[in-house]
Chain A
């Protein structure tokens, strides 16, 4: 089965600072990769997904961006964080015929 490594687990950042969250995948090749955000007590909002290296689809217009420099690496970035960017960020990986596996998540607090 797939293993998703996501870090850091928690992050406190000031408004206006940059962000970089990284996710790496083991146990599969050419997976579909996803970034979700979960506000407190809310559902999973799809932010970005990628079907291959350099291929990024954005679901929600915002000040976040994503990149996939390698097959099993997915990065979520921001140049300037907003208070509204606070939340629980989850990376997920899925290959056809398998379930989607989630990373442990990053709890981001923008202060």
Chain B
């Protein structure tokens, strides 16, 4: 069964460092998303991406965040200068192929710990 894959599974970084989280969405999907979940809290929408541009972003997704689909297969989330409060699980998701039911397929997540 096709799946969304994310790397790394866990990253520890120092405050102020840049972090790139990588995702490989399901190959024929068209819509891509990043969500995050702070420990013990709900899943929060960050950004959606379609046709090589951001289609929507939340207030969390400020200038420190950026997304890119550099090569037609990877979908990356970059945090330019990490803060302690960026510590969370980051989930990539994709949807929308030939049989678009609206179902979002999530990856297993990348746990980011900012020290």
Are A and B co-members of a single complex? no
Binding site for B on A (CB under 8 A): none
